[in-house]
Each structure stands twice: as C-alpha cells, then as structure tokens.
Chains A and B, each alone.
Chain A
Amino acid sequence: MAFVSPNITTYAVEATEFPDLARRFRVSGVPKTVVDEEVEILGALPEEVFVEQALAKFTSHN
C-alpha cells in the first residue's frame, strides 16, 4: 500500500519485541493493524474490505 500511495508509510512491527508499542496500540491479538492511531483492525480480512476499512477515514472521495 505504501507503494501505491506516496502518503502511506507502513511498519511491520514484531509485537513481542516491542511491548511498549504493543501496549500503546492495545494489541490483544495478531495480526492487528492500526492506522494513524485512529483505525484499528484485528485479524485478517479480504483485501478490498481491509483497504476500505483501513483507509476510508483518510480519503476525501471514493
């Protein structure tokens, strides 16, 4: 996704190595995706559903 949009930066974070981040982002299970500390997605979703849920708040139009 970072490759498609110059506005997106992605981090793949190993949760057990960084418990401070896991706490801060309330990681109770994996995979967990947090977008700008605003949108949280727990678990895996079909690609298009994931993209929609993750980014809907950050687009001015669809």
Chain B
Amino acid sequence: MSLVSPADQQKLREVFAEMTRPVRLVFFTQTLECETCPQTKQILDELPPLSDKIAIEEVNLILDGDRARHYGIDRAPAVAIEYLNLQDAQGAQGAEGAQGAPSAQTAAGHPEHPVHPVHGVWTDSRMRFLGAPAGYEFISLVQAVLLAGGRPSTLSENSRRHIAAVDRPVVMNVFTTPT
C-alpha cells in the first residue's frame, strides 16, 4: 500500500511536472544492521511513479564502498541527490562541477558517472540525507529533488550573495527528529 495519499500523490505529480531535468536519488543501503533501510526504500520507491524525471539507484554501502566514499557517505540509510547536467554534455566546462575535474574527464574517468544515453552528465548536487526521510524530512527531500530538478532557488538575493562568497569547502549538518 502506498505511504502517500492519492491527493498528495496528485500534488506531487503537479510539482514534479515543473522539473526541467532528470534527478537521480542514489540510495545507500546495507542488508544487515540497518533498521530503517527497508522503510527508506519504501519511501523512495514512492517517487519514480510520480515523475518520469526521477530515478532511484540502489547502492550497497558495503559491497560498493568506493562509490560511498566518492560521496563521503559512511552509513546507511543515506541518499545523495544527483541531477543530469545537460550543459556539460554540450561542451561547457562544468560551471557547477565544483568537485574538480572538467566534465569530459568526469565522464571518462568515473564509470559510475556515465554520460547519459541521451545527453548530459550526472552531477552531484551535494545535498544528502542521512536516515529515513520520513515525516517532515519527506517534504525536505521533495524540495531537494525540485531544486536539483531545476526549480529556481527561493533564497533572497542577499542570502545568495552571501552564500556565493563562501571561499572554501564547508560541510553543513542539519539535525532533525521525526515528527
């Protein structure tokens, strides 16, 4: 049975319809000693039926440790959000590809980041979720998917200027509890 009511499914379909590019939720899971992994899978699996632009990729934290390290993920359940960067595929030198390499190199050097069969390069949004995205966190997850999917930022001009001035790598952890 679905965790999301038919009315909410319809609302989500409508907001997801505004997405301009595909989004991939990389779900890090493990078979043993992960109480909330099955719940997380159930929640994530609700999304792809609501939009052809949303896909889930399941990665085993233990068996595919390299992939997890690539995202700095060391526990499960965790979700890393990626989007298909259509500009990079057209030859632009990764305006948002901050984590280093030019796009062509990224595509060639990381088999886990293949060039999309159609066009584009999967790009890390650097938005991650640790723990099951249940309750209010589900809304945060939906917001993150929409941002990655091309929705303009709702932050004020002032905030954006301040954020853009950050001149070194910074990790922000936001702790919440289920509601």
Contact B140 A3 (CB under 8 A): no
Contacts of B11 in A (CB 8 A): none
Q: How large is the interface on B (under 10, 10 to 19, 20 to 34, 35 or more residues)?
A: 35 or more
Q: What is the predominant secondary structure among interface residues of chain B facing chain A?
A: mixed
Contacts of A27 in B (CB 8 A): 175
B30 → A minimal CB distance (Å)? 13
User: How many inter-chain residue pairs (CB < 8 Å) link A and B?
Assistant: 161
Contact B163 A14 (CB under 8 A): no
Contacts of B5 in A (CB 8 A): none
A33 → B minimal CB distance (Å)? 5
Alpha-carbon gap, A5 to B165, bound state (A): 8
Contact A15 B167 (CB under 8 A): no
Contact B175 A55 (CB under 8 A): no
Alpha-carbon gap, A48 to B96, bound state (A): 23
Contact A12 B129 (CB under 8 A): yes
Given A11-B171, A36-B171, A55-B170, A30 and B177 contact (CB-CB distance below 8 Å): yes
